[in-house]
Protein backbone atom coordinates (compact mmCIF):
# COMPACT_ATOMS: atom_id res chain seq x y z
CA UNK A 1 0.00 0.00 0.00
CA UNK A 2 1.44 3.36 -1.00
CA UNK A 3 1.27 6.47 1.17
CA UNK A 4 2.17 9.11 -1.41
CA UNK A 5 1.10 9.93 -4.93
CA UNK A 6 3.39 10.66 -7.85
CA UNK A 7 5.18 14.01 -7.80
CA UNK A 8 5.57 16.39 -10.72
CA UNK A 9 8.15 19.15 -10.79
CA UNK A 10 6.77 22.03 -12.82
CA UNK A 11 8.91 25.00 -13.80
CA UNK A 12 7.00 28.10 -14.87
CA UNK A 13 8.99 30.68 -16.83
CA UNK A 14 7.84 34.27 -16.57
CA UNK A 15 9.53 36.31 -19.26
CA UNK A 16 8.15 39.42 -17.64
CA UNK A 17 7.76 38.88 -13.87
CA UNK A 18 4.07 39.59 -13.08
CA UNK A 19 2.33 37.85 -10.23
CA UNK A 20 -1.40 38.55 -10.14
CA UNK A 21 -2.30 35.82 -7.63
CA UNK A 22 -4.34 33.68 -10.04
CA UNK A 23 -1.88 30.77 -9.95
CA UNK A 24 -1.79 30.82 -6.14
CA UNK A 25 -5.59 30.88 -6.03
CA UNK A 26 -5.85 27.82 -8.26
CA UNK A 27 -3.14 25.92 -6.38
CA UNK A 28 -4.89 26.65 -3.08
CA UNK A 29 -8.21 25.45 -4.52
CA UNK A 30 -6.67 22.19 -5.76
CA UNK A 31 -5.02 21.61 -2.37
CA UNK A 32 -8.30 22.31 -0.54
CA UNK A 33 -10.12 19.66 -2.60
CA UNK A 34 -7.39 17.08 -1.92
CA UNK A 35 -6.45 16.79 -5.58
CA UNK A 36 -2.84 17.83 -5.06
CA UNK A 37 -0.41 18.68 -2.32
CA UNK A 38 2.22 21.36 -2.92
CA UNK A 39 5.39 20.00 -1.39
CA UNK A 40 7.72 22.88 -2.19
CA UNK A 41 8.01 26.04 -4.25
CA UNK A 42 10.98 28.09 -5.35
CA UNK A 43 10.90 31.57 -6.90
CA UNK A 44 13.94 32.83 -8.77
CA UNK A 45 14.66 36.15 -10.43
CA UNK A 46 17.40 37.10 -12.86
CA UNK A 47 17.89 40.84 -13.02
CA UNK A 48 18.71 42.78 -16.16
CA UNK A 49 22.37 43.02 -15.10
CA UNK A 50 22.52 39.22 -14.66
CA UNK A 51 22.36 39.20 -10.85
CA UNK A 52 20.36 36.25 -9.53
CA UNK A 53 17.97 36.37 -6.58
CA UNK A 54 16.06 33.62 -4.80
CA UNK A 55 12.93 34.41 -2.83
CA UNK A 56 12.90 32.22 0.28
CA UNK A 57 9.35 31.48 1.42
CA UNK A 58 10.47 31.45 5.04
CA UNK A 59 11.83 35.00 4.79
CA UNK A 60 8.63 36.53 3.42
CA UNK A 61 6.61 39.02 5.50
CA UNK A 62 4.00 37.31 7.70
CA UNK A 63 0.99 38.50 5.67
CA UNK A 64 2.44 37.18 2.39
CA UNK A 65 3.67 34.01 4.03
CA UNK A 66 0.15 33.36 5.34
CA UNK A 67 -1.14 33.36 1.74
CA UNK A 68 1.18 30.42 1.07
CA UNK A 69 -0.07 28.35 3.98
CA UNK A 70 -1.24 25.64 1.57
CA UNK A 71 2.40 24.79 0.79
CA UNK A 72 3.49 22.00 3.11
CA UNK A 73 5.94 23.22 5.74
CA UNK A 74 7.42 19.78 6.44
CA UNK A 75 8.52 19.29 2.85
CA UNK A 76 9.82 22.76 2.06
CA UNK A 77 13.46 22.67 1.08
CA UNK A 78 13.17 19.94 -1.55
CA UNK A 79 14.58 22.48 -4.00
CA UNK A 80 18.16 23.39 -3.14
CA UNK A 81 20.88 25.74 -4.35
CA UNK A 82 21.96 23.26 -7.04
CA UNK A 83 18.42 23.36 -8.46
CA UNK A 84 18.49 27.16 -8.38
CA UNK A 85 21.87 27.26 -10.14
CA UNK A 86 20.62 24.94 -12.88
CA UNK A 87 17.53 27.06 -13.49
CA UNK A 88 19.42 30.36 -13.40
CA UNK A 89 21.70 29.08 -16.18
CA UNK A 90 18.77 28.87 -18.56
CA UNK A 91 17.11 32.14 -17.57
CA UNK A 92 17.30 35.31 -19.63
CA UNK A 93 17.93 38.64 -17.90
CA UNK A 94 14.89 40.41 -16.42
CA UNK A 95 12.87 37.21 -15.94
CA UNK A 96 11.52 34.98 -13.20
CA UNK A 97 10.99 31.27 -12.67
CA UNK A 98 8.66 29.49 -10.27
CA UNK A 99 9.41 25.83 -9.57
CA UNK A 100 6.73 23.71 -7.92
CA UNK A 101 6.86 20.17 -6.54
CA UNK A 102 3.28 18.89 -6.67
CA UNK A 103 2.14 15.52 -5.31
CA UNK A 104 -0.91 14.00 -6.97
CA UNK A 105 -2.75 12.92 -3.83
CA UNK A 106 -5.78 11.83 -5.87
CA UNK A 107 -3.69 8.91 -7.15
CA UNK A 108 -3.07 7.27 -3.76
CA UNK A 109 -6.50 5.60 -3.44
CA UNK A 110 -6.52 4.59 -7.11
CA UNK A 111 -3.04 3.03 -7.01
CA UNK A 112 -3.91 1.19 -3.78
CA UNK A 113 -7.13 -0.15 -5.37
CA UNK A 114 -5.18 -1.30 -8.42
CA UNK A 115 -2.59 -3.05 -6.23
CA UNK A 116 -5.28 -4.63 -4.02
CA UNK A 117 -6.84 -6.10 -7.16
CA UNK A 118 -3.56 -7.81 -8.00
CA UNK A 119 -2.97 -5.61 -11.02
CA UNK A 120 0.40 -4.09 -11.91
CA UNK A 121 0.91 -0.78 -13.67
CA UNK A 122 2.78 -1.71 -16.84
CA UNK A 123 3.27 1.78 -18.23
CA UNK A 124 2.65 5.30 -17.05
CA UNK A 125 3.48 8.55 -18.85
CA UNK A 126 2.14 12.07 -19.06
CA UNK A 127 0.84 13.77 -22.20
CA UNK A 128 1.13 17.57 -21.81
CA UNK A 129 -2.17 19.48 -21.79
CA UNK A 130 -1.43 21.47 -25.00
CA UNK A 131 -0.88 18.17 -26.86
CA UNK A 132 -4.20 16.83 -25.52
CA UNK A 133 -5.97 20.04 -26.62
CA UNK A 134 -4.44 19.67 -30.11
CA UNK A 135 -5.56 16.06 -30.33
CA UNK A 136 -9.14 16.89 -29.35
CA UNK A 137 -9.21 19.85 -31.75
CA UNK A 138 -8.20 17.56 -34.62
CA UNK A 139 -11.10 15.14 -34.04
CA UNK A 140 -14.01 15.40 -36.44
CA UNK A 141 -17.01 17.23 -34.98
Please choose, from the candidates 101, 102, 121, the residue with its C-alpha nearest in 3D space to the C-alpha of residue 2.
121
Check residue 33 and give its pLDDT: 96
Check residue 4 and give its pLDDT: 92
Confidence tier at 121 by pLDDT (50, 70, 90): confident
Q: Model-level pTM?
A: 0.85
Check residue 42 and give its pLDDT: 93
Check residue 6 and give its pLDDT: 92
Could you tell me how many residues make up the chain?
141
- Which pairs from 24-28 meet CB under 8 Å and 24+ separation? 24/67, 24/68, 27/70, 27/100, 28/70
Give pLDDT tens digits for 85-105. 999 999 999 999 999 999 999
Confidence tier at 17 by pLDDT (50, 70, 90): low
Give pLDDT tens digits for 57-83. 888 888 888 888 888 888 888 999 999
Burial class (CB in 10 A: 0-12, 13-18, 19+), 47: exposed
Q: Which range (1-5, 17-21, 55-59) has the least confidence?
A: 17-21
pLDDT (average), residues 7-15: 91
Amino acid sequence: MIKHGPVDVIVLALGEPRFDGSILTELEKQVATGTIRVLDAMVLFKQENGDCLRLDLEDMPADQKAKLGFIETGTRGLFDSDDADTLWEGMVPDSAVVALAIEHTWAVALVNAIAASGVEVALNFRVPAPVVDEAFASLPA
